[in-house]
Chains A and B, each alone.
Chain A
Amino acid sequence: MYEVRWHGRGGQGVVTSSELLALAALREGKHVYHAPEFGPERRGAPVRAYTRISTHPIELHSSIYTPDAVVVIDPSLQSEVQSVTHGLREGGLLVVNASTPHEGIVEAAKKLKAGLWFVDAYSIAMEVFGRPFYNTPMLGAFVKASGLVSINTVLDVVAERFGKESKLAESNVQAVRKAYETVRRL
């Protein structure tokens, strides 16, 4: 079983990233559980989402406390090192939205022997959407960093999700691909 925890802010599509990952894994024959963790938070509040992926049926319905991977969708949340790395398994994976990762994160990753990946999702989003939409680029980055699902499956799922407005589908596909291609391991 592989567990991913997503960190972002309300309105950034954190829940969508997590769900799209789950849907892609589902399509590749895996069992999945995706759940948002939110209360009445509005735009801007820190929110989390969980994705659980397994080759066996998933019965566990609790939150995720010891994730195999953490994805930080909002660059400003990098500095909340304690909160975002909490419970991350040793040798796990950290994927952050940054042109250069925050030193606290770098240090934490070292301590945990975690792979630290970073991508400049801000520039990608501004280029593709003209607005800071990070969720699909960070999904692309995670897919590359984890190798958990194939990029083609993810692109299909993303295209379908935004399919009603084909332009939106196109730009999201582009954003995923760009992030997939430019994400780097520190």
Chain B
Amino acid sequence: MSESIVLKLKTWKDLPIGGVIPEPSTSLYNKTGNWRAMTPVLDEKKCIKCLLCWIHCPEPAIIRKDDDSVKIDYDYCKGCGICANVCPVHAIEMKLGV
């Protein structure tokens, strides 16, 4: 992604025609983690790998690992708290700051 359009644009002459964004998923450059007021913190020991947090995350900022355990991607997590709310075993806790 080092040659992404996001990094190359300087003047109107650099723009691709037709207003397109010529590559996929460039929003990865927009780290929405700084929107977060409350932070979900996962207690891995409690996780039962049910994937509810993964499926319901709107970003998606829950990373599903190979063994179906999960990890929170703080680069993008906006701290909405859905994951904590849907977790059947209360393995995720919303904390101020972090």
Whether A and B touch directly in their complex, counting CB atoms under 8 A apart, is answered as: no
> What is the interface of chain A, defined by CB distance below 8 A to chain B?
none
